[in-house]
Protein backbone atom coordinates (compact mmCIF):
# COMPACT_ATOMS: atom_id res chain seq x y z
CA UNK A 1 0.00 0.00 0.00
CA UNK A 2 1.37 3.42 -0.96
CA UNK A 3 -0.05 6.87 -0.52
CA UNK A 4 -0.43 9.21 -3.52
CA UNK A 5 -1.40 12.88 -3.58
CA UNK A 6 -3.64 14.64 -6.07
CA UNK A 7 -4.63 18.23 -6.69
CA UNK A 8 -6.87 20.12 -9.07
CA UNK A 9 -5.74 22.81 -11.48
CA UNK A 10 -6.60 25.80 -9.28
CA UNK A 11 -5.32 24.21 -6.07
CA UNK A 12 -8.59 24.55 -4.11
CA UNK A 13 -9.03 20.77 -3.97
CA UNK A 14 -6.46 18.24 -2.77
CA UNK A 15 -6.72 14.57 -1.95
CA UNK A 16 -4.78 11.48 -0.95
CA UNK A 17 -5.34 7.98 -2.32
CA UNK A 18 -4.02 4.72 -0.91
CA UNK A 19 -3.20 2.33 -3.75
CA UNK A 20 -2.19 -1.27 -3.22
CA UNK A 21 0.38 -2.86 -5.52
CA UNK A 22 -2.04 -4.06 -8.22
CA UNK A 23 -3.81 -0.66 -8.26
CA UNK A 24 -0.60 1.21 -9.08
CA UNK A 25 -1.17 1.59 -12.82
CA UNK A 26 -3.36 3.57 -15.21
CA UNK A 27 -6.43 2.00 -16.79
CA UNK A 28 -6.92 3.87 -20.06
CA UNK A 29 -10.57 4.33 -20.95
CA UNK A 30 -11.36 5.11 -24.58
CA UNK A 31 -15.15 5.34 -24.22
CA UNK A 32 -16.99 8.23 -25.84
CA UNK A 33 -18.21 9.57 -22.48
CA UNK A 34 -14.61 9.95 -21.33
CA UNK A 35 -13.80 11.79 -24.56
CA UNK A 36 -16.68 14.21 -24.00
CA UNK A 37 -16.02 14.80 -20.30
CA UNK A 38 -12.26 15.22 -20.63
CA UNK A 39 -11.80 16.71 -24.10
CA UNK A 40 -9.12 14.06 -24.64
CA UNK A 41 -8.89 10.76 -26.55
CA UNK A 42 -8.98 8.76 -23.29
CA UNK A 43 -8.83 9.11 -19.51
CA UNK A 44 -6.50 7.43 -16.98
CA UNK A 45 -8.20 5.78 -14.04
CA UNK A 46 -8.11 3.17 -11.34
CA UNK A 47 -10.95 1.58 -9.37
CA UNK A 48 -10.25 1.75 -5.64
CA UNK A 49 -12.31 1.37 -2.45
CA UNK A 50 -14.12 4.57 -1.48
CA UNK A 51 -12.34 4.40 1.88
CA UNK A 52 -8.95 4.64 0.12
CA UNK A 53 -9.69 8.22 -1.02
CA UNK A 54 -9.48 11.14 1.38
CA UNK A 55 -10.30 14.68 0.22
CA UNK A 56 -7.88 16.73 2.29
CA UNK A 57 -8.74 20.23 1.04
CA UNK A 58 -11.91 21.70 -0.54
CA UNK A 59 -14.57 19.12 0.38
CA UNK A 60 -17.42 20.97 -1.37
CA UNK A 61 -17.10 19.27 -4.75
CA UNK A 62 -19.56 19.77 -7.61
CA UNK A 63 -21.51 16.72 -8.78
CA UNK A 64 -22.67 15.73 -12.25
CA UNK A 65 -24.80 12.59 -12.72
CA UNK A 66 -25.47 10.70 -15.93
CA UNK A 67 -26.74 7.23 -16.87
CA UNK A 68 -23.98 4.78 -17.77
CA UNK A 69 -24.19 2.00 -20.38
CA UNK A 70 -25.99 -0.24 -17.88
CA UNK A 71 -28.67 2.42 -17.29
CA UNK A 72 -27.38 3.01 -13.76
CA UNK A 73 -26.22 6.33 -12.39
CA UNK A 74 -22.65 7.56 -12.61
CA UNK A 75 -21.79 10.50 -10.37
CA UNK A 76 -18.82 12.68 -11.27
CA UNK A 77 -17.22 14.85 -8.60
CA UNK A 78 -15.26 17.88 -9.68
CA UNK A 79 -13.70 21.07 -8.35
CA UNK A 80 -16.36 23.79 -8.60
CA UNK A 81 -13.76 26.45 -9.36
CA UNK A 82 -11.62 24.88 -12.10
CA UNK A 83 -13.78 21.81 -13.09
CA UNK A 84 -10.97 19.23 -12.60
CA UNK A 85 -12.73 15.84 -12.42
CA UNK A 86 -11.36 14.29 -9.21
CA UNK A 87 -13.22 10.96 -9.26
CA UNK A 88 -16.54 9.34 -10.11
CA UNK A 89 -18.76 6.79 -8.49
CA UNK A 90 -20.99 4.22 -10.19
CA UNK A 91 -24.23 2.98 -8.60
CA UNK A 92 -23.24 -0.54 -9.72
CA UNK A 93 -20.11 -0.40 -7.51
CA UNK A 94 -21.35 1.27 -4.31
CA UNK A 95 -18.20 0.62 -2.28
CA UNK A 96 -15.72 1.73 -4.94
CA UNK A 97 -14.80 4.91 -6.76
CA UNK A 98 -13.02 5.52 -10.05
CA UNK A 99 -10.01 7.73 -9.43
CA UNK A 100 -8.42 9.87 -12.15
CA UNK A 101 -4.86 8.58 -11.77
CA UNK A 102 -3.34 11.19 -14.09
CA UNK A 103 -4.08 13.80 -11.39
CA UNK A 104 -1.76 12.13 -8.88
CA UNK A 105 1.22 14.42 -8.91
CA UNK A 106 3.91 12.74 -6.81
CA UNK A 107 7.05 13.15 -8.92
CA UNK A 108 5.04 14.66 -11.81
CA UNK A 109 1.49 14.20 -13.14
CA UNK A 110 0.57 10.52 -13.28
CA UNK A 111 2.95 9.78 -10.37
CA UNK A 112 5.18 7.67 -12.62
CA UNK A 113 2.49 4.97 -12.94
CA UNK A 114 2.52 2.88 -16.13
CA UNK A 115 -0.44 1.87 -18.31
CA UNK A 116 -1.90 -1.34 -16.86
CA UNK A 117 -4.78 -2.03 -19.26
CA UNK A 118 -7.01 -0.35 -21.84
CA UNK A 119 -10.80 -0.55 -21.81
CA UNK A 120 -13.41 0.36 -24.44
CA UNK A 121 -10.79 -0.40 -27.05
CA UNK A 122 -13.63 -0.51 -29.61
CA UNK A 123 -13.83 3.30 -29.34
CA UNK A 124 -10.06 3.88 -29.62
CA UNK A 125 -9.25 6.52 -32.24
CA UNK A 126 -7.60 5.00 -35.30
CA UNK A 127 -4.26 6.79 -34.85
CA UNK A 128 -3.73 5.73 -31.23
CA UNK A 129 -1.21 2.94 -30.57
CA UNK A 130 -2.01 0.14 -28.16
CA UNK A 131 0.13 0.47 -25.01
CA UNK A 132 -1.34 -2.24 -22.74
CA UNK A 133 -3.66 -5.26 -22.82
CA UNK A 134 -6.88 -4.02 -24.41
CA UNK A 135 -10.47 -5.05 -23.76
CA UNK A 136 -13.25 -4.27 -26.26
CA UNK A 137 -15.38 -2.91 -23.43
CA UNK A 138 -14.60 -3.90 -19.84
CA UNK A 139 -12.65 -6.97 -18.66
CA UNK A 140 -14.78 -10.08 -18.09
CA UNK A 141 -15.64 -10.21 -14.39
ZN1 LIG B 1 -9.79 23.47 -8.66
ZN1 LIG C 1 -14.57 5.93 -20.28
Provide the residue ranges of all domains of the chain, joining segments of one domain with +.
2-123
Residue 79 CA, ligand 2 centroid: distance in Å: 19
* Tens digit of each residue's pLDDT (9 = 90 or more) over 13-53: 999 999 999 999 999 999 999 999 999 999 999 999 999 99
What's the CATH code, domain 2-123? 2.170.150.70
Ligand closest to the CA atom of residue 66: 2
Find out whether 100 and 120 touch, Cβ atoms under 8 Å: no
What is the rounded distance in angstroms from the CA atom of residue 55 to the CA atom of residue 58?
A: 7
Q: How many CB atoms lie within 10 A of CB 7?
A: 20
Residue 3 CA, ligand 2 centroid: distance in Å: 25
Ligand closest to the CA atom of residue 55: 1
The Cα-based distances of 57 to 10, 24, 93, 109, 118 in angstroms read: 12, 23, 25, 18, 31
Ligand closest to the CA atom of residue 120: 2
Ligand closest to the CA atom of residue 86: 1
Residue 82 CA, ligand 1 centroid: distance in Å: 4
pTM of the model: 0.94
Which residues contact residue 85 at a Cβ distance below 8 angstroms, ignoring those fewer than 6 apart?
37, 38, 76, 77, 78, 100
* Tens digit of each residue's pLDDT (9 = 90 or more) over 80-94: 999 999 999 999 999
Amino acid sequence: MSSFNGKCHCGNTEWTAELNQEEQGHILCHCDTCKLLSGSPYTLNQIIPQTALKITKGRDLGKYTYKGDSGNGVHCYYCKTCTTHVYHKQDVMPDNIVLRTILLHDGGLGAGLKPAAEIYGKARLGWEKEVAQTFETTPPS
